[in-house]
């Protein structure tokens, strides 16, 4: 009430661009942080000859490179809608999420294969203290990146960025495997490193399940049922709305779109019914986070024959 605001199309586009800028900023900061982490580990690999640490270093490099498909997706999402892509290009983020899920799956397979190979062919590791320190650096770097990506992804509504944050977290667990494995080897337990590696493989698989489920739900246009309840509650409190009919919500990138049918007094004029629909959309945009548009269709209340001509299409 104290600050001017608007919900014109131009303002909605500016909001979307700002969200994409936040996403891109998170990606590039993450890329720099993981690059620095991998570089520090590479120095240790050079004078210890640790194969496990080499694998972790390469894994961190691969994780940093997942910023590329997400960066491309965010840039595509900033393009204006066209006559072919009438909803814009926000779905590119979800496609990038699929790539990230595949990368996590590949990480799980690689970690499991490496652990099994180490069980079959034990190898000595020199300068265990340096390897352990590098593993700790890898964990700290990945966890900081994971928290940052997940926080920004949830704030702007990007499932792909959240999935990428979960991937960074799995890499942190892999780094901890290096640390714990080095400790076990120091105690003379040559089997410690591969056993911990198998345990981390299970942890990666669990994170993979969560990330895949999140991306699957987004691709299937799933929304939080509480969001649907919120929309219904707001509409029920809107003056002039007699009831709520069909209600559909879907994510397009990190923006939420709605298609809703409401019933109004059949004696209203077109102008009056339109005013109720506009007021309802305005209330929803204020009340529902990330909702940028709600196409609201008004029906005359208590008129079951209003859609009779369409009945044979249902």
Q: Where are the domains of the chain?
A: 9-219, 225-313
pLDDT tens-digit series, residues 11-22: 334 444 455 677
Cα separation, 247 vs 38, in Å, equals 48
Q: Which of 308, 280, 272 is nearest to 296 (CA)?
A: 280
Which residues does 165 contact at the CB level (< 8 Å), separation at least 6? 145, 146, 147, 148, 149, 150, 151, 153
Please list the helix, strand and coil fractions of the chain in percent, rounded to the nearest 5, in that order: 70, 10, 20
Paired strand residues for 298: 262
Q: Which burial class, exposed, middle or buried, applies to 261 when counting CB atoms under 10 A from its CB (0-12, 13-18, 19+)?
A: middle
Mean pLDDT confidence for 274-298 = 94
> 255-264 and 291-300 as β-strands: parallel, antiparallel, unpaired?
parallel
Indicate the length of the chain as a whole number.
314
Give me the pLDDT at residue 5, please. Answer: 41
Q: Which residue has the tokens 């190979």?
A: 117
List CB contacts of 29: < 8 A, sequence separation 6 or more.
148
Q: How confident is the model at residue 73 (pLDDT cuts 50, 70, 90)?
A: confident
Residue 108 to residues 171, 204, 215, 220, 246: CA-CA distances in angstroms? 10, 6, 18, 25, 42
132, two tokens: 């352990």
The strand pair at 243-252 and 255-264 is best described as antiparallel
CA dist 19 and 12 (Å) reads 11
Stretch 168-178: mean pLDDT, rounded?
78
Specify the 3-state DSSP secondary structure of 290. coil
DSSP 79: S
Residue 76 three-state SS: helix
Whether 264 shows a pLDDT value over 80: the answer reads yes
What is the pLDDT confidence band of residue 84, given thresholds at 50, 70 and 90?
very high
Q: If you classify domain 225-313 with CATH, what class do you get?
A: alpha beta
Tokens of 227: 């969001």
Domain 9-219 matches domain 225-313 at the CATH topology level: no
pLDDT at 125: 65
Distances (CA, A) of 260 to 96, 101, 136, 293: 29, 33, 51, 11
Position 226 confidence tier, pLDDT thresholds 50, 70, 90: very high
Which tens digit of pLDDT belongs to each residue from 133-165? Answer: 888 888 898 888 888 888 888 887 777 678 778
Q: Which fold has domain 9-219?
A: Alpha-lytic protease prodomain-like (1.20.1510)
Are 27 and 67 in contact, with CB atoms under 8 Å apart?
yes
pLDDT of residue 159: 73
Average pLDDT of the chain to the nearest whole number: 81
What is the rounded distance in angstroms from the CA atom of residue 139 to the CA atom of residue 196?
15
């Amino acid at each position: 009430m104290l600050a001017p605001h608007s919900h014109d199309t131009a303002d909605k586009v500016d909001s979307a661009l700002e969200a994409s800028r936040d996403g891109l900023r998170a990606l590039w900061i993450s890329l720099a942080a993981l690059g620095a982490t991998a570089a520090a580990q590479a120095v240790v690999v050079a004078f210890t000859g640790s194969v496990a640490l080499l694998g972790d270093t390469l894994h961190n490099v691969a994780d940093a490179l997942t910023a590329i498909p997400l960066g491309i997706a965010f840039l595509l999402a900033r393009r204006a809608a066209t006559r072919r892509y009438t909803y814009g290009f926000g779905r590119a983020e979800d496609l990038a999420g699929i790539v990230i899920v595949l990368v996590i799956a590949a990480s799980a397979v690689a970690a499991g294969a490496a652990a099994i190979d180490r069980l079959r062919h034990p190898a000595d590791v020199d300068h265990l203290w340096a390897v352990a320190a590098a593993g700790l650096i890898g964990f700290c770097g990945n966890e900081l990146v994971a928290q940052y990506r997940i926080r920004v992804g949830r704030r702007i509504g990007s499932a792909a960025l959240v999935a990428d944050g979960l991937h960074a977290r799995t890499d942190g667990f892999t780094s901890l495997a290096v640390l714990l494995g080095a400790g076990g080897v120091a105690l003379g337990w040559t089997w410690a490193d591969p056993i911990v590696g198998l345990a981390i493989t299970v942890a990666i698989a669990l994170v993979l399940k969560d990330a895949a489920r999140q991306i699957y739900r987004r691709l299937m246009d799933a929304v939080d049922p509480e969001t649907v309840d919120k929309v219904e509650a707001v509409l029920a409190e809107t003056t002039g709305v007699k009831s709520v009919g069909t209600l559909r919500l879907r994510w397009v990138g990190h923006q939420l779109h709605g298609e809703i049918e409401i019933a109004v007094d059949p004696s209203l004029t077109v102008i009056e019914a339109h005013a109720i629909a506009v007021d309802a959309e305005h209330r929803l945009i204020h009340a529902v986070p990330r909702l940028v548009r709600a196409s609201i269709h008004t029906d005359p209340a208590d008129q079951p024959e209003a859609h009779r001509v369409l009945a044979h299409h249902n």
